[in-house]
Amino acid sequence: MKAPKTIEVTLNNKFEACYTLEFSRNEEGEEIGILRCPIVKWHTLEEQEVLYRTFTITGEELACIEKYYFDDYVVSIPVKGYPYGVEMIDIIHKIVGPKIYKQMLSGTFKRL
């Protein structure tokens, strides 16, 4: 089994947090990734806290996130043809357009 991978970040110039990717196998023996992503929850302008969302990812999404985010130690990738940096959560929720999504999974995207 692969060792867990971590990316340390500072959210809102205030909160120390980290993205973590741990590896496991499902019942069929396929590799799965357990991805923990920090988010800032705003209660009021003065009161915020860091919470974590956990996702189970597999296949091309797991390979993409591991290779282009965790191995490069980044949480956002500037991609040619897309106006914003592509974040891990964009891949998981398929927020980017289908063309960029396919490029990210196949590794054919071009960084700015």
- 72 in a structural domain: yes
- 111 in a structural domain: no
pLDDT tens digits, 73-99: 999 999 998 999 999 999 999 999 999
Closest of 96, 92, 52, 41 to residue 69, by C-alpha: 92
Q: What are phi and psi of 36, to 5 degrees?
A: -110, 120
| C-alpha span between 112 and 98 (Å, rounded) | 19
- 74 in a structural domain: yes
- 47 in a structural domain: yes
- 112 in a structural domain: no
Q: What is the pLDDT of residue 70?
A: 98
Number of domains in the chain: 1
pLDDT tens digits, 56-71: 999 999 999 999 999 9
Domain, as residue range, for 22: 5-106
